[in-house]
Amino acid sequence: MRKTAAIVLLALLIFFAASCGAGNGCEATLAASTSTAGYSGGETPARHSETSGEPFQTADSGAHPSETQTESADPPETADCAPETTESGLPETTGAGRSETPDTDVTDGASPSDPDSPETESPDTAVPTKSPDPPAGPDYLVLVNRSNRLPDGWEEEIALLTVENVLGKPVKVEKNAYAAFLSLRAALETEGVYIELDSAWRSVEEQRRIMERFIEEYGEEYAKNTVAPPGCSEHHTGLALDLCLIVDGKVVRLNEEMMRYPELWRIVHDKLPAFGFILRYPEGREEITGYGYEPWHVRYIGDAGAAAAIAASGQTLEEYTGTTVRARRGVK
């Protein structure tokens, strides 16, 4: 018996020695046995790695051991997430090199489509309800007559255009005065009255030639009473226009002939102020202007309001500007 017991004991020792040598761990085996024996239900306790203490990874989890956290750990930050994309599908970058959409003018959190959100002002497209301001340029109220010579340096202040007159000849005229003439002509055509441009700007030398021609054709007395001395003609300004009529398709431009159509000139004169013109030498004001009545001679002053005031009051440009001239007779 004693020999048999010794053999059994020796066999047991060999068995335990073999178990420990197999690497399963005698203590681990004993602990596992006691832990399993005490489990009463629920989830199976997580098994830990024998080397690191980290939870074991199952083959189908898809997670890296470093991404798996214990229950007490905070959720991981997704610092390596893909950048957000814009509406175009392109990634929005930050910092240097960021391509930002310009800020909108929406304030207080209002949406641009919100009817209560502030609206941006649209360009003013309303039709003006008053006469436009006088155009930029020289002094359109400049007074040139027998007593007031053309100001020095005037020709450097004006912008002259070269256009064709009714005879197809080149004529120079101040640009804004010509634009106003075109508008006046178009307005008169709607009433069946047709005008054209005969002459406008003249040089001092040209004025001298006109004086000489009138003296030769009409005599010195008539010429001095009709033609301005060189340097004193309003035509030097480029703002004075001599008009002519088109009657029954024919050009009427000689002074004596144009005087035969007072009714047509009345319609023309009524239209002048709206386009910044005045009748420069009205009938019966010769002692003020120094010239006889010339229905064809109109003057651009640029300001429709001032032109209307002059026409309504019956004033001459001399009276409006506070300047008068001596009577034309005897003036050298």
Tell me the catalytic residues. 294
- Produce one character per residue of 104-138: b if its CB has 16 or more CB atoms within 10 Å, e if not: eeeeeeeeeeeeeeeeeeeeeeeeeeebeebbeeb
Query: Would you say 184 and 272 are in contact if contact means Cβ atoms under 8 Å apart?
Result: yes
State the DSSP string of 255-320.
HHHHTT-HHHHHHHHHHGGGGTEEESS-TT-HHHHSS---TTEEEE-S-HHHHHHHHHHT--HHHH
Quick one: which H or E segment has residue 224? Answer: helix 220-226
How far, CA to CA in Å, does 66 sit from each of 52, 54, 57?
Answer: 12, 9, 10
Q: Residue 164 forms beta bridges with which residues?
A: 170
3-class SS of residue 118: coil
